[in-house]
């Protein structure tokens, strides 16, 4: 992150059962969030081996922006930024050869780190094993609170009542780990 401080933002467990056909569609993470700023990082930490076919893929360089329209994964609905307010994603999956897509097969002990604006996606899971991933997100020096008029994903109920827009994320929900 190039940051002197590190705050925990949030974490979640991502489980794909054997035979999952549903893709995780291409998206950036930050437009779903309540933060502005560039010093951030996500760690995607599988606890099972993940094949190249089922791994998280990235469009190299896309962390430079722009912010692109966040949509619901299941029905492509604009639930966050209003329709038309951000540029839509290009059809990456339909024209993969036009994009610098990178991804790696992963063994337990490996993990990938990426910026919250990096476009990423993952296929389903073939074979008999679950694909379990611990995913954890960190914030650096320049990150500021950006309260939204909609429910962010994840949601932090009540945060906007105590933390003004533009403030550092100085709240017990985001403990300072370094600094
Ligand atoms: O694990 C996946 O399929 C998707 C992960 C993802 O989108 C994320 O960690 O931001």
CA of 37 to the centre of ligand 1 (A): 21
Any atom of ligand 1 within 6 Å of the Cβ of 24: yes
CA of 56 to the centre of ligand 1 (A): 7
Q: Across all residues in the chain, what is the average pLDDT?
A: 97
Could you tell me the pTM of the whole model?
Answer: 0.96
∠ Cα 11 132 33 (to 5°) = 30
67 class by beta-carbon count within 10 Å (0-12 exposed, 13-18 middle, 19+ buried): middle
Is residue 78 predicted with pLDDT exceeding 90? yes
CA of 24 to the centre of ligand 1 (A): 7
- Rounded to whole angstroms, the Cα distance separating 69 from 56 reads 20
CB-CB contact of 120 with 27 (8 Å): yes
- Rounded to whole angstroms, the Cα distance separating 56 from 174 reads 26
pLDDT on residue 126:
87
Is residue 43 predicted with pLDDT exceeding 90? yes
Any atom of ligand 1 within 6 Å of the Cβ of 80: no
CB-CB contact of 144 with 166 (8 Å): yes
| pLDDT tens per residue across span 95-150 | 999 999 999 999 999 999 999 999 999 999 988 889 999 999 999 999 999 999 99
DSSP state of 174: S
Any atom of ligand 1 within 6 Å of the Cβ of 135: yes
Any atom of ligand 1 within 6 Å of the Cβ of 119: no
Any atom of ligand 1 within 6 Å of the Cβ of 56: yes
Contacts of 75 (CB under 8 A, 6+ apart): none
DSSP state of 89: P
Ligand 1 pocket: which of 9, 14, 112 to mutate (most atoms within 8 A of CB) = 14
Any atom of ligand 1 within 6 Å of the Cβ of 120: yes
Q: What does the domain layout of the chain look like in residue ranges?
A: 1-126
| pLDDT tens per residue across span 46-75 | 999 999 999 999 999 999 999 999 999 999
Q: What is the number of residues in the chain?
A: 179
pLDDT on residue 33:
98
pLDDT on residue 127:
85
- Rounded to whole angstroms, the Cα distance separating 156 from 159 reads 6
Q: Which fold has domain 1-126?
A: Jelly Rolls (2.60.120)
């Amino acid at each position: 992150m190039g940051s002197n401080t590190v705050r925990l933002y949030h974490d979640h467990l991502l489980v794909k059962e054997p035979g999952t056909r549903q893709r995780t569609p291409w998206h950036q993470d930050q437009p779903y969030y309540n933060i502005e700023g560039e010093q951030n990082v996500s760690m995607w930490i599988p606890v099972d081996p993940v094949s190249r076919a089922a791994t998280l893929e990235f469009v190299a360089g896309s962390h430079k922006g722009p912010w692109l329209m966040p949509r619901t994964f299941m029905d492509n609905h604009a639930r966050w930024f209003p329709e038309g307010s951000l540029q839509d994603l290009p059809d990456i999956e339909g024209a993969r050869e036009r994009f610098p897509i990178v991804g790696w097969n992963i063994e337990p002990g490996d993990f990938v780190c990426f910026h919250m604006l990096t476009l990423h996606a993952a296929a389903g899971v073939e074979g008999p094993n679950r694909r379990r991933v611990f995913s954890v997100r960190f914030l650096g020096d320049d990150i500021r609170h950006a309260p939204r008029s909609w429910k962010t994903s994840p949601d932090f109920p009540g945060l906007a009542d105590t933390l003004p827009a533009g403030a550092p994320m100085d709240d017990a929900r985001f403990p300072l780990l370094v600094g």
